[in-house]
Amino acid sequence: MAKRDYYDVLGLTKTATQDEIKKAFRKKAVETHPDKGGDENLFKEIAESYEVLSDEDKKRQYDTYGHNTPKQGPSGDPFQDLFRRSGFNPFAQGSVTRPGTNMNLTLKLALEEIFTGTSKKFKYKRNVHCKPCSGKGGTNVKTCTTCGGSGAVREIINTPFGQIHSAVTCNVCGGQGFSYESICVSCAGEGVNSIDESVDIQIPSGVVENMSMVLSEKGHAVKNGGVGDLIISILEIPHENFIRTGNDLKFSVKLTYPQMVLGDKIDVNIIEGGKIRIQITEYTKVGDIFKIPSKGMKLLNTGTRGDLLVIVDLLMPNKIDSEERKLIEELKKINQKIAI
């Protein structure tokens, strides 16, 4: 009997997306599963169709050649492909588990939150190992008979100069060296399912930009492999008043000429909220810095604080009234006399 078209088996057309292929497989697999009294041969046909169509490499080959796929590795470089795919093989001695996939997340924090420390709760989607198949994608492992479990087959090419022997990825098992007698219905053979995860993390006071926190095994799980980490990187939202330099905070104040010459008491903002009164000394110049000890950011894991640096700038009026004009002209005359 001629082999049926894989798309026909799943009731799909060639334009079907991966999502549609997966959905069609799940539906058909549930209907025909032998454990539930379905036809075993039909189930195997469905599983085989899905195995090919859900794998981009195999699907491309099938779309091009149909059932007459030539015996070649799916990629241009079969050796590289073998190395890439041979990470997990349950029959290999001392096999290396494929690592999970790490996820990266940027957490934006206001300077006030960094000062006090905070807790953040957030939700995200991640893949976890499918429970029914323990993350394998199927049950009843069988060694691939085509490659004998090695994942590679020898290919002999006859050339005018003699035979060339080479190893290419096994077409039947995709280089894994094994396959499953039944594909898992819960995960459509993918070994993982997507879940809504929520984490609650504590941000200590004094974290700095680009610092990252690693939440072990909160990333993506991979089929026949491990679980990746969730890596949270801190990003500081620029503050409208303060500029952070290390553990110190810079704060700019604009003062009038009389304030700078005569000195004054002024109130400046502090990061914990509220204000603090400071003394501007007489004859202060533009760019002078008044250092207020221990009013900066907290140092990570200690109670100590950096300093607040108040930087003086000149407040230039955009408009002056007649009385101010009179006084400034008077002052100008006096200054000119001094200059002479």
Determine the interface stretch with Zn ion among 57-65, 182-190, 210-218, 316-324 (rule: CB under 5 A). Answer: 182-190
Alpha carbons within 13 A on the beta-carbon side of 111: 19
Q: Could you say which of 170, 221, 232, 308 contacts Zn ion (CB under 5 A)?
A: 170
Nearer to Zn ion, 168 or 271 (CB): 168
Listed in sequence order, the residues at least 6 apart from 267 whose beta carbon sits closer than 8 Å to its beta carbon are 275, 276, 277, 278
Nearer to Zn ion, 170 or 270 (CB): 170
The type of residue at 19 is D
Near Zn ion in 85-144, by CB under 5 A: 130, 133, 144
Q: Which of 70, 73, 27 has its CA nearest to residue 50?
A: 27
* Residue 192 binds to Zn ion (criterion: CB under 5 A): no
Tokens at 251, concatenated: 């704060």
CB of residue 101 to Zn ion, shortest distance in Å: 18
Q: In the 8-state DSSP scheme, what is residue 171? A: T
Helices (H) then strands (E): counts for the chain? 8, 15
Q: Could you say which of 105, 107, 167, 172 contacts Zn ion (CB under 5 A)?
A: 172
CB of residue 91 to Zn ion, shortest distance in Å: 11
Q: Could you say which of 10, 147, 183, 280 contacts Zn ion (CB under 5 A)?
A: 147
Q: Which of 86, 25, 82, 88 has its CA nearest to residue 53?
A: 25
Nearer to Zn ion, 135 or 296 (CB): 135
CB of residue 166 to Zn ion, shortest distance in Å: 16
Nearer to Zn ion, 103 or 173 (CB): 173
Listed in sequence order, the residues at least 6 apart from 338 whose beta carbon sits closer than 8 Å to its beta carbon are none
Q: Are strands 308-314 and 248-255 parallel, antiparallel or unpaired?
A: parallel
Nearer to Zn ion, 184 or 309 (CB): 184
Nearer to Zn ion, 177 or 206 (CB): 177
CB of residue 6 to Zn ion, shortest distance in Å: 19
Listed in sequence order, the residues at least 6 apart from 37 whose beta carbon sits closer than 8 Å to its beta carbon are none
Q: Count interface residues toward Zn ion (CB under 5 A).
A: 11
Q: In the 8-state DSSP scheme, what is residue 142? A: E
Q: Which of 62, 88, 92, 86 has its CA nearest to residue 74?
A: 62
* Residue 187 binds to Zn ion (criterion: CB under 5 A): yes
Residues engaged in binding Zn ion (CB under 5 A): 130, 133, 144, 146-147, 170, 172-173, 184, 186-187
